[in-house]
Structure 1
Amino acid sequence: MKQPIAIQNICKEAMSHLEKRFMEREELIRLLLLAVMSGEHMLLVGPPGSAKSQLARAIAGLFGSDQGFDYLLTKFTTPDELFGPVSLQKLKQDEYMRLTEGYLPGARFAFLDEIFKANSAILNSLLSILNERIFFNGRDKQQVPLHFLMAASNELPEDNEQLAALYDRFLFRFEVEYVKQISSFELMFTAPSTPVPAILTTDLVRQIQAAAQDISLPEPIIYMLFQLKTAMEEKEYVISDRRWHKIGRVWKISAAIHGRSSVNVWDTVLTPHMLWDFPEDLSELKEIFDKVFQEMLKKEMEQELPLQQYNQTVRKWLDREDELHSFQFKKEVGGSLSKDAAERLKAATEECRSELEETARSLRGRLMSWQEKEKNLTEWIASQSIFLLHPDQYAVKFTHLRIQGERILQSVQGLYRTLFDKEIPGIVYDYTL
């Protein structure tokens, strides 16, 4: 496989070409690219004239593919229109087969508009093509080369079991709206009209997918996924085990693109668009995901700023503050203590002194390093995932972690001052930053 940096640069270039042609579609473009790399299909929900079909053709164009197929479905669409006409020559031999070249079973990239208008004669063939990449052509099981299918609909399927099964085949979902900003509206008239350059290859995608098979889902990441599932179910959002499994695989694809050996929290940033069944639920699902994401981010950053460990040390000695302070006072005024009690409390006091000094030195050092990191924090966050649209928004979460660390350091210094009536030697920290 190519070096991760080279892969990321190719992906960034692909996104840049699409962003110049499609205004206010930055998040959708990132989602599309991840879907293509994952080999998962995407559904767009939105009004006509929002550039859905042009975007599908542009995605195929990035691969230089002339094996594209797009079609507008109606309730009158026949299987011949999608899957090809029946071969008359085969019929003469008492065989029922379709000539699929130039039709959906022969396409690598496809766009189907108004997909939920598919009738039952078309539906079963679509299901096997989307999921198993198989087209039942007469008595033959024909492997289809389909790599990615983007579908669109003005409305979601009604309570129909067959259509629900089709809907579940689209892991990625996105609600498309018309351009809103005047700057985007102006750019729309000067956007490049030339075809996008062919800078992606199916071979590259296969390499990424092969690499993803060796990438692990660490236990904390699996727990994060389960927390997300539990939090959603508490709000009565339920999705199939198949979709949860596919979400985990998409995270692995992201990790492969970024050259990681295991999935981390930054591979999960686009997850909300794989969770909803109705567009109006996306806002609440994003809130649910954000809470789980922040908890996971805090755990991952524990390696650089182990707040929980430091806080446990502070709590340990705060619980004994009165006991140790009383011992110090009695020692000063000559209060009476049994020999065993005096020795025990003296040992505890020295242990406390040592642990507080060590904690303060370690925490101060970590905080100083963290401050240096914050100087280029946005750039560092952006380097964690090419799919992050607004890395600056995540920087605030890191500032909150530093503030928590500073509060712990203040607690350590305050406790030390109370017990030993002096400052911790060599610990100077500027809290005004």
Structure 2
Amino acid sequence: MMQPLDDTMKKKDAADTNGLHPLEETVLSLATGKLYQLEQPAKPRLFVIPKPDEAPAKTIEPAAVETVSLEKFSALQRAINDAIDFVSKQILGREHIIKQTFFALMCGEHQLLISRTGMAKSMLARQIFACFDGAQVFEKQLTKDTMPDNLFGAYDIEAMKRGKMIHNVEGSLVLSHFAFLDEIFDANDMLLRSLLSLLNEKKLVNGEQIIHSPLQTVIAAANYIRVTEILEAVLDRFLYKSYIPENKDLYFQYSIDSVYQKNFGAIQIPEKRISLSDFNVVKELIKSRAIEIPGYILLLKNHILRQYIEETREQVPDKRNYTISDRTTAKSQDLLRASAILDGRPQANETDLENLHYMICTLGRDEEKSRFIKICSAARRYFQQDREILENIFDAIHIFSFLKSSAHAELLKSDAAFNHLKGRLEKLVKKETTGFREYIEKLKSKFVSLPKDAIVPETLALLEDLCDLSLKDARTRESREIIEGFRQDVFHAKKLTVQNI
């Protein structure tokens, strides 16, 4: 059932740039003998957030970069936090799950809620979706008899006469922004398999009919999990999972009664809702480079996830084959950025790492969260001894990456590119706290007057020396693993440069 929260936005979003409604496009495609595809979504925009108390740096950013002011950034952060607080006052005892849901919404991912019946899963989803203005919401309870046309739209009769199975997607899951699918595991495997591309790639793939969907997040609910091959693939699409336990504490039950007496179970609409366009800016910030994740934080993230896999396999008897997919590992970066936004920061830091448990663990399984937080704390203490060395190395890796991406594109010959690279080198060799101060002071004057034709070999020589010095001082095995891997890359690049001279 489609719930229009804003009829005006519905009409706007239902049509593509050439003014045709999806239903009209299907008819047109049949009349012309070919299937018409909805226009592919535009590539994510690039954003930059000005940092306070920092002069604008001269960098070579793409011309199409948009600036989100600090005032706008703060307003977006407040709006999301206000929505979280509002929902938490309507649905008691679900604060962590509500925060997890908003992380899923911000990252454009899906959430699975598991509990016994009567635990207000559907009410939770409806109350959260009510915080958004201009969103199309689809809701459906699935059964073993639910067919694809119940989700994707009825089949077009005229198309069937021509031997084609075409969905009329008007009012369906395909054209919705958010969706709630209840009792998802009651659905048959055929239906679940047909959901995969829509959940993962945000498009309906039905033979020749391919429709790019505005679907952002699906919240699914279940009373149980059945294990099949297709179910494993479906579960992997729901990066955020929560188990809702019973809570019969008398004071908690009294609090629920008090809330019920105020609204009698009706969904409450906040005074200020988040516009879908503003929320899309948040999502695009997360998918752009505007929210920076330092290399040191990425190292900690990957180490924590690796340790969590190993300890889970060792400590949980029925999870000997437990793993975290590469897709989940990569997308965990989005959660770090979302966490930074909720805290009002344009850069992720160590405090965001603990929030990874919202994605990696199943909320409500306290033993999983406890294990994760313990690993996270230990990792932060463990790498602190090499932090200075590693931050230097990741600065060096950034320089090397820029060099590799520019060396074969004539880009380094431009003044902007040359100044960008020289500025990065000067920043690296001028760090006041570096343990290599004596060494890099000798290089300072050298790089100030570095000519363009010598910048590549001289930079590679500096990076290689930096790796050698870092390897001597690094205390942890993992730090040496990172440095040695980087040194090998620099060595091969240096060898190629010599051959090309």
**Bin for the TM-score computed over the shorter chain:** 0.5 to 0.7
2:276 pairs, out of 202, 206, 226, with 202
Give the whole-Å Cα distance in 1 for the aligned partners of 2:114 and 2:162.
44
Residue of structure 1 equivalent to 2:304: 228
Deviations 1:94-133 (A, max 9, x none): 4321112122112111111121232233123210111000
2:175 pairs, out of 106, 123, 126, with 106
1:133 pairs, out of 202, 219, 234, with 202
Give the whole-Å Cα distance in 2 for the aligned partners of 1:232 and 1:222.
15
The secondary structure found in structure 1 opposite 2:273 is: coil
Give RMSD over aligned pairs.
2.6
The alignment-based identity, stated in percent, is 31
Residue of structure 2 equivalent to 1:400: none
What's the offset of the Cα at 1:63? 0.7
Which amino acid letter does the alignment assign opposite residue 239 of structure 1? I
Residue of structure 2 equivalent to 1:239: 324
> 5 Å matches for 1:6-85?
6-65=75-134, 67-85=136-154
Are the equivalent residues in 2 in contact too, given 1:95–1:138 (CA < 8 A)?
Answer: no
Cα distance change on mapping 1:113 and 1:263 into 2, 3 Å:
same
The secondary structure found in structure 2 opposite 1:189 is: helix
The secondary structure found in structure 1 opposite 2:179 is: strand
What's the offset of the Cα at 1:93? 4.1
What's the offset of the Cα at 1:296? 5.4
1:292 pairs, out of 359, 375, 388, with 375
Which amino acid letter does the alignment assign opposite residue 223 of structure 1? L
1:165 aligns with 2:233: yes
Cα distance change on mapping 1:167 and 1:298 into 2, 3 Å:
same
1:254 aligns with 2:322: no
After TM superposition, the score normalised by the length of structure 2 is 0.56
Deviations 1:257-282 (A, max 9, x none): 444343112223332232247x78x4
Which amino acid letter does the alignment assign opposite residue 265 of structure 1? E
Give the whole-Å Cα distance in 2 for the aligned partners of 1:152 and 1:79.
18
2:190 pairs, out of 78, 96, 121, with 121
1:186 aligns with 2:186: no
The secondary structure found in structure 2 opposite 1:59 is: helix
1:267 aligns with 2:352: yes
Deviations 1:175-211 (A, max 9, x none): 1123433233122233233522251122222212222
Give the whole-Å Cα distance in 2 for the aligned partners of 1:164 and 1:91.
33
Cα distance change on mapping 1:220 and 1:288 into 2, 3 Å:
farther
Are the equivalent residues in 1 in contact too, given 2:300–2:380 (CA < 8 A)?
Answer: no
Deviations 1:263-319 (A, max 9, x none): 112223332232247x78x434323322333245558999xxx9xxxxxxxxxxxxx
Bigger shift: 35-44 or 94-103? 94-103
Which amino acid letter does the alignment assign opposite residue 99 of structure 1? N
What's the offset of the Cα at 1:59? 1.6
The secondary structure found in structure 1 opposite 2:138 is: strand
Cα distance change on mapping 1:74 and 1:238 into 2, 3 Å:
same
